């Protein structure tokens, strides 16, 4: 089936936020710090008409701080003003906002704002930031530690004493720019009732609620519409200062105000993903069984704590044992402030880091024990009959078949002959490697008891007067095809053609409750909610039909409601009758709609197994991914073509992360690569022969058996390729490589062993 | 709120004389394909200036072969060069180079003159045309036409810092017979990475002349003059070539960024130089 | 001609040129007579003056391809073309794809192949593909990838896009 969204997106009729800017809007442009840390002053000429605002003006207008309703209370976070008050804390930190009648004029006005900077010492590295001698990002806190989270288990120590094999690995995952093609954009316009806001976001309801709190107006006075969103990947799962400031300006000035991020600006002011450094230790039995794990993680929080900073490293710790049956896990993670762009979720949000650590450790263990990497994994994975399985950190995996995935992977890749081929090529002097990853991932965020914003999703399905169906749900999609997936879900239950269904997502208008799209919750949380609402709608429609047909038991058969003696009535007649009330009993309420609030009983756990074959060109260190085999299992699939698309996209973002992406900071604390040209992300010319397979292990947690899959590819491919490269380098001993696997790093690693020959 | 008063003007030039006259105007900026100027205007908006549109000057768009010279008009797009009958018949390797520049959209709009005018660190044309002993015909403000070898133009900051018009680039088609471009496409489709263009005069025994130009490795495209001098007059044995290779980056500060440090870049340039020389000697007429 | 000396300007004032230039452009089959300031890119003119918001801006370094349109039949980036230079030019944007055989076929094959996810890069991809198919019959996957080198997509991994263009190209060639 063709996607519902594509009709408009393929004709240039998408409604991205920059496409719907009201006429006469003023444009905003932000003045941003070019320094990692600097005090600043803004001169104001007396009597001069100023077309810019600083935090002093926002303070006078009662926009003093960004309300943080959702960060765990034990995080150490200073109040954050939307604009910096007198100290800028990262390159890109906004210190003033200028206005103009056009984007160009606003930009020019911003360049003329008289800011005087005094550079201060900075720290850009989270490990260094922990050192007491490092500059403090928030001096009033006395330390750069933003949070500490731990799950301690004293039993771990015993395993480390008893086990004959112990490994210790430290790996860093650099900061990643999410780089959605659509830069952040927001406009706000005053209305009679309050404010109309359009913003490129994954979480319109959270934006609404935070905005209402910040501006001191009721949530019912703000409408937030995301429209079509050009990619989010987690970085639009935040409420940003710019959104609040634009809303405030519209309210203060009484006119529409718009801000469209420039790409260079977006790169330094939008949440950066990853940025976790971890040390993983394993205590392993003589037979190669991992008994215990100890994980210590350090998360780079950046200069300010945004919505998700504590969540990612916590999820890393919770998933650190991966697919494996481990007896004890001890974990402590902490977040450190640095003078860099704040961190946020990015496709996988903590789980890629966990998988990266445990899967690279497995390969190291295999090398140490001279075991085959797949065989060693088979020895350690949770068996297929052990579900539901609760990990030592009290996470319950709903279902899975890890041995099945590994077997499928071996089969589709012809693993044994790949190894033989590797031997032959190695004998010829080639650097060829095979790398495996076997992963499980946590999706369907999540049970409300675990999420500060609540994890439920409410869906409403209503029958319109003309017989068409309107589905409303509080998701905030950005390309996943959620409209299509939910259309299919409803079409099947109501037995109506997909064309008669309209899905309303990404808006608070007509959808009062929602939390947005994140944590791969579309298929695993929203779809069951929509399914539940559709089922209730059938019941509701059946009772209307029964009333109209003067029977007690009309049933839905082949798209019509039928009596036992064959009389029938269709959805359009029911819709009309329900809307106008004709022929219905007095006491029956008008309308035909149903709602369902689904609070997932637990997270869902898709899994997979990937294999990468790589070779390394010794003359320049270039990594060539020659082949990729993937086995993914996300339970039941509502829209298989949509799953194909999500896996492909996630995979390519993962390839970017392992092969070429990563923000570095120079000596002055400035990010290197702040233009789209310099931030390398995969282009069409990255060609990798890839065979994608799937297995299906449904989830018992929801009636659809769905698990969500949007982030799996990103999680599975990074360790597979990383392991393959280290496998290629292992014969010459050059295994000390890190992310990203850029040619010059590999070449250097090769050379360092040449020197020793 | 009103917009600030603007002093940005433009004129659509039709003749070379019009362009020449406009060069003396304050704030004059020549606009051909706009692939460099337009993004610059977005990042640094103008408050005053005169944009002189060259796209309507037919004389600048011509491609001719006359008197043994290929003449490429400076506003020829890279695509036009790649598809030109004259070039395909007389200098097909030039067309092949044109087909590699940037990406499809840049090739369709970006011009030869624009590419040479920009001191871009990654420039296929700067490297290749310099190695091919290309001469530029330019018009400077208040002056008539004059010629400058591209070799000198690359480093002539006095000339480059003032507004001037490149009229055309001239080269001999025979130069392509002993020319090799060892190129690596950079990651970001932004141009070549650590690539080297070499041309030689080799009679089977001695190398009597050689041009060695490196692009995508340093802040500017540069000529490896020390290597040229070292190789000239030799019989191009392995020792001679290695000795020349060792001097390639002499006096040049190579780029140090996420794609590699200077040592890595020097290694790439050296190995590509060796490949280029080997190819040239192998295919020498 | 009245000339205002802008703030911060050094002294001499140009006597040549115009502050706005009359520009005739033919966009999606419709003629427009506009009066354009010199430093406005075609992308701004299309989106802000003509309301054709299908072409998107994704960067300012001529790198993403989301703004690609056909200018006299050739794919170029609208962000890097000065509007006033388009006097007399024929411009096709994604909104006009229905009107051309290559364009409408590409649209349907994109949809069939699930080559669209967030849709932001899609207009540029479709215009580049239309330009390609008009010039090359039956392009191969490597040729297609080369033609799309200037286009970034963060959502799809490119496979479905390349596949869609390959299929459309093959179909057009057999007609």
Q: In this structure, are B18 and B109 located in the same domain?
A: no
Rg of chain B on CA atoms, in Å: 20
- Mean pLDDT of the region B65-80: 97
Which residues in chain C (52-111) have CB-CB distances under 8 A to chain A? 52-61, 63-64, 66, 93-95, 97-98, 107, 110-111
Average pLDDT over residues A315-335: 97
- The chains found to touch C (3+ Cβ pairs under 8 angstroms) are A, B
Give strand ranges (E) for A178-214. Answer: 185-190, 195-199
Of residues A541, A591, A592, the one with CA closest to residue A569 = A541
For A640, the closest chain C residue by CA position comes to: C114
Contact in structure between C59 and A263 (CB atoms under 8 Å): yes
Q: Is B44 helix (H, G, I), strand (E, B) or coil?
A: coil
Q: CA torsion, points A48, A49, A55, A59, in degrees to nearest 10?
A: 100
Note whether B8 and B92 are same-domain residues.
Answer: no
Measured CA to CA, the distance from residue B37 to residue B28 in angstroms comes to 12
Task: Name the domain boundary from A580, A598, A616.
Answer: A598
Chains in contact with chain A (at least 3 beta-carbon pairs closer than 8 A): B, C
- Please give, rounded to a whole number of angstroms, the shortest distance from the CA of A384 to a CA of chain C: 32
Q: Is the pLDDT reported for residue C10 higher than 50?
A: no
C120/A10 Cβ within 8 A: no
* CB contact C32 to A (< 8 Å): no
Element (H, E) at A469: strand A469-473
Q: Are residues B118 and B150 in the same domain?
A: yes
Nearest to A744 among B43, B189, B261 (CB): B261
List chain C residues with CB under 8 Å of A19. Answer: 47, 53
Asked if residue A78 lies in contact with residue A21, where contact means CB atoms within 8 angstroms, the answer is no
Half-sphere exposure of C107 (CA within 13 A, CB side): 21
* Residue recorded with tokens 């943080």: A68
Is there a domain that residue A164 lies in? no
The per-residue pLDDT for B143 is 84
In tens, the pLDDT along B251-279 reads: 999 999 888 999 999 999 999 999 999 99
Whole-number average pLDDT of chain B: 93
Cβ atoms A530, A511 nearer than 8 A: no
Q: Is the model's pLDDT at C55 over the cut of 60? A: yes
Same domain, B32 and B128: no
- Contact between B189 and A743 using a beta-carbon 8 Å cutoff: no
Query: Tokens representing A437?
Result: 């990853």
Report the pLDDT averaged over residues A327-352: 97
Asked which of A598, A633, A654 is the last residue of a domain, the reply is: A598
Same domain, B145 and B220: no
CA distance B235 to chain A (A): 26
Long-range contacts from A585-590, C-beta under 8 angstroms, 24+ separation? A585/A547, A588/A543, A588/A544, A588/A547
What's domain C96-174's architecture?
Answer: Orthogonal Bundle (1.10)
CA A649 to chain C, closest CA, distance in angstroms equals 4
Maximum C-alpha span of chain A = 94
* CA R_g for chain C: 19
Q: Of the residues B149, B172, B195, which one is the last residue of a structural domain?
A: B172
pLDDT of the residue at A745: 94
With 0-12 CB in 10 A as exposed, 13-18 as middle and 19+ as buried, what is A132? Answer: exposed
CB–CB contacts below 8 A, B to C: 136
* Domain boundary pick from B130, B146, B172: B172
Q: Which residues pair with A228 in a beta bridge?
A: A16
A198's CB contacts (< 8 A; 6+ apart) are A17, A20, A185, A186, A187, A188, A224, A225, A226, A227
Comparing CA positions, the residue from A71, A735, A657 lying closest to residue A352 is A657
Q: Identify the DSSP state of B166.
A: E
* Beta-carbon separation of B187 and A680 below 8 A: yes
Tokens of A175: 């900061």
Residues of B in contact with C25 (CB under 8 A): none
Tell me the pLDDT tens digit for each residue of A588-646. Answer: 889 999 999 999 999 999 999 999 999 999 999 999 999 999 999 999 999 999 999 99
pTM of the model: 0.96
- Residue ranges making up the domain that contains A642: 272-443+603-752
Span B143-171, mean pLDDT?
Answer: 94
* Length, in residues, of chain A: 757
Of B114, B138, B172, the residue at which a domain comes to its end is B172
pLDDT at site C7: 39
- CATH code of the domain covering residue B253: 3.30.390.50
C75 Cβ under 8 Å from any chain B Cβ: yes
pLDDT in tens, B9-54: 999 999 999 999 999 998 999 999 999 999 999 988 888 899 999 9
How many structural domains are present in chain B?
3
pLDDT of residue C6: 41
ipTM of the complex: 0.96
Query: Are A678 and B268 in contact (CB < 8 Å)?
Result: no
One domain for residues B136 and B211 = no
The CATH number of the domain holding residue A748 is 3.30.365.10
Is pLDDT of B283 > 90? no
Say how far residue B77 (Cα) sits from the centre of its chain: 13
Q: What is the pLDDT of residue A307?
A: 83
* Chain A contact set for C63 (CB, 8 A): 675-677
> Which chain C residue has its CA at the smallest distance from B54's CA?
C85
Domain ranges of chain C: 21-95, 96-174
On average, the pLDDT of chain A sits at: 94
Q: What is the mean pLDDT of residues B73-100?
A: 97
Q: What's the total number of domains in chain A?
A: 3
**Token pair recorded at residue A447:** 């049970």
Interchain contact, B38 vs C75, CB within 8 Å: no
What part of A 204-233 touches C (C-beta under 8 Å)?
Answer: 228-231, 233
Query: Can you say whether the dihedral through the CA atoms of C138, C143, C148, C154 is positive or negative?
Result: positive
pLDDT of A504: 97
Is C9's pLDDT higher than 50?
no
| pLDDT beyond 60 at B1 | no
pLDDT of residue A757: 44
Is the domain covering C21-95 a CATH 3.40.50.1450 domain? no
**Residue B116 is part of which domain span?**
59-172
């Amino acid at each position: 089936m063709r996607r519902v969204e594509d009709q408009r997106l393929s004709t240039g009729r998408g409604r991205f936020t920059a496409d719907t800017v009201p006429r006469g809007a003023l444009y905003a442009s932000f003045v941003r710090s070019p320094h990692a840390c600097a005090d600043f002053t803004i001169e104001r000429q007396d009597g001069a008409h100023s077309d810019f605002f600083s935090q002093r003006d926002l303070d006078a207008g009662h926009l003093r701080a960004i309300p943080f309703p959702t960060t765990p209370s034990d995080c150490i976070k200073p109040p954050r003003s939307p604009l910096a008050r007198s100290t800028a804390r990262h390159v890109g930190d906004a210190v003033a906002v200028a206005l103009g009648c056009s984007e160009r004029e606003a930009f020019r006005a911003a360049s003329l704002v008289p800011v005087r900077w005094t550079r201060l010492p900075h720290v850009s590295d989270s490990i260094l930031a922990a050192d007491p001698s490092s500059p403090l990002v928030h001096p009033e806190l006395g330390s750069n530690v933003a949070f500490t989270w731990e799950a301690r288990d004293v039993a771990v120590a015993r395993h480390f004493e008893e086990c004959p094999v112990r490994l210790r690995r430290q790996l860093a995952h650099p900061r990643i720019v999410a780089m959605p093609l659509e830069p952040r954009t927001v406009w706000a316009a005053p209305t009679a009732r309050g404010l109309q806001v359009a913003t490129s976001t994954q979480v319109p309801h959270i934006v609404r609620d935070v905005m209402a709190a910040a501006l001191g107006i009721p949530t019912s006075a703000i409408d937030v519409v995301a429209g079509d969103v050009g990619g989010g990947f987690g970085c639009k799962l935040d409420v940003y200062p710019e959104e609040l400031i634009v809303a405030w300006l519209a309210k203060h000035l009484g006119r529409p105000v718009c801000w469209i991020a420039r790409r260079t600006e977006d790169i330094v002011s939008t949440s950066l993903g990853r940025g976790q450094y971890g040390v993983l230790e394993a205590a392993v039995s003589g037979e190669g069984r991992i008994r215990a794990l100890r994980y210590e993680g350090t998360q780079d929080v950046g200069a300010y704590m945004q919505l998700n900073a504590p969540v990612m490293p916590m999820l890393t710790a919770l998933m650190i044992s991966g697919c494996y049956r481990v007896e004890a896990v001890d974990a402590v993670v902490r977040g450190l402030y640095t003078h860099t762009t704040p961190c946020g979720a990015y496709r996988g949000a903590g789980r890629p880091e966990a998988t990266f650590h445990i899967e690279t450790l497995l390969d190291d263990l295999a090398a140490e024990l001279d075991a085959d990497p797949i065989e060693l994994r088979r020895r350690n994975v949770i068996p297929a009959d052990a579900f539901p399985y609760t990990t030592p950190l009290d996470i319950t995996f709903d279902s899975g078949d890890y041995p099945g995935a590994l077997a499928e992977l071996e089969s589709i890749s012809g693993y044994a002959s790949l190894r033989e081929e590797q031997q032959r090529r190695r004998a010829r002097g080639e650097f060829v490697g095979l790398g495996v990853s076997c992963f499980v991932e946590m999706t369907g965020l999540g049970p409300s008891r675990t999420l500060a914003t609540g994890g439920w999703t409410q869906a409403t399905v209503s029958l319109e007067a003309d017989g068409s169906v309107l589905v409303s749900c509080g998701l905030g999609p950005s390309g996943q095809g959620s409209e299509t997936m939910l259309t299919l879900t409803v079409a099947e239950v109501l037995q109506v053609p997909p064309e008669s269904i309209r899905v309303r997502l990404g808006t608070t208008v007509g959808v009062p409750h929602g939390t947005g799209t994140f944590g791969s919750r579309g298929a695993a949380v929203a779809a069951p909610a929509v399914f539940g609402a559709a089922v209730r709608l059938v019941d509701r429609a059946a009772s209307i039909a029964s009333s109209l047909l003067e029977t007690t038991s009309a049933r839905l058969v082949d798209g019509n409601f039928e009596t036992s003696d064959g009389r029938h009535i269709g959805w359009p007649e029911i819709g009309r009758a329900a809307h106008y009330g004709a022929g219905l009993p007095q006491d029956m309420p008008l309308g035909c709609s149903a709602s369902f609030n689904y609070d997932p009983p637990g997270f869902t756990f898709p899994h997979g197994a990937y294999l990468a074959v790589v070779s390394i060109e010794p003359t320049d260190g270039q990594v060539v991914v020659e082949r990729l085999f993937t086995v993914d299992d996300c339970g039941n699939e509502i829209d298989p073509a949509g799953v194909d698309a999500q896996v492909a996209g996630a995979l390519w973002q993962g390839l970017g992360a392992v092969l070429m992406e990563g923000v570095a900071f120079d000596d002055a604390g400035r990010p290197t690569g702040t233009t789209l040209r310099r931030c390398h992300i995969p282009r069409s010319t990255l060609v990798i022969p890839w065979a994608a397979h799937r297995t299906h292990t449904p989830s018992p947690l929801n009636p659809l058996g769905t698990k969500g899959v949007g982030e799996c590819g990103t999680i599975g491919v990074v360790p597979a390729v990383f392991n393959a490269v280290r496998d290629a380098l292992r014969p010459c001993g050059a295994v000390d490589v890190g992310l990203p696997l850029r040619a010059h790093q590999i070449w250097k690693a090769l050379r360092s062993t040449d020197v020793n020959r | 709120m009103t917009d600030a008063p603007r002093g940005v003007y433009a004129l659509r030039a039709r003749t070379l004389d019009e362009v020449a006259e406009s060069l003396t105007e304050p704030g004059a900026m020549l606009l051909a394909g706009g692939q460099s100027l337009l993004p610059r205007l977005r990042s640094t908006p103008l408050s005053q200036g005169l944009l002189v549109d060259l796209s309507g000057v037919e004389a600048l768009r011509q491609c001719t072969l006359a008197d043994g010279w290929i003449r490429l008009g400076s506003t020829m797009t890279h695509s036009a060069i790649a598809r030109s009958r004259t070039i395909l018949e007389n200098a097909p390797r030039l067309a092949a180079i044109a087909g590699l520049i940037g990406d499809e959209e840049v090739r369709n709009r970006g011009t030869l003159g624009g590419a040479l005018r920009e001191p871009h660190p990654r420039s296929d044309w700067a490297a290749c045309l310099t190695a091919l002993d290309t001469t530029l015909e330019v018009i400077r403000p208040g002056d008539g036409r004059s010629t400058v070898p591209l070799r000198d133009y690359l480093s002539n900051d006095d000339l480059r810092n003032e507004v001037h018009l490149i009229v055309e680039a001239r080269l001999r088609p025979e130069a392509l017979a002993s020319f090799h471009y060892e190129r690596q496409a950079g990651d970001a489709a932004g141009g070549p990475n650590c690539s080297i263009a070499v041309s030689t005069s080799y009679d089977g025994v001695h190398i009597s002349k050689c041009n060695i130009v490196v692009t995508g490795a340093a802040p500017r495209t540069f000529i490896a003059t020390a290597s040229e001098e070292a190789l000239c007059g030799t019989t191009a044995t392995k020792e001679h070539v290695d000795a020349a290779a060792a001097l390639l980056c002499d006096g040049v500060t190579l780029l140090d960024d996420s794609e590699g440090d200077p040592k890595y870049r020097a290694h790439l340039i050296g190995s590509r130089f060796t490949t280029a020389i080997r190819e040239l000697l192998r295919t020498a007429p | 001609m009245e000339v205002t000396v802008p703030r911060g300007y050094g002294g001499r004032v140009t006597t040549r040129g115009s502050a706005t230039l009359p520009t005739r452009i033919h966009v999606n089959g419709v003629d427009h007579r506009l009066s354009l300031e010199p430093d406005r890119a075609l992308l701004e003119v299309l989106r802000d003056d003509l309301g054709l918001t299908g072409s998107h801006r994704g960067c300012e370094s001529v790198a993403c391809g989301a703004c690609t349109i056909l200018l006299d039949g050739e794919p170029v980036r609208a962000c890097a073309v000065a509007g006033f230079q388009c006097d007399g030019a024929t411009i096709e944007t994604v909104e006009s794809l229905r009107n051309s055989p290559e364009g409408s076929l590409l649209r349907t094959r994109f949809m069939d192949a699930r080559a669209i996810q967030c849709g932001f890069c899609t207009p540029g991809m479709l215009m580049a593909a239309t330009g390609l198919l008009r010039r090359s019959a039956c392009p191969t996957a490597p040729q297609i990838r080369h033609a799309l080198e200037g286009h970034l997509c963060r959502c799809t991994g490119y496979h479905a896009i390349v596949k869609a263009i390959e299929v459309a190209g093959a179909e057009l060639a057999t007609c």
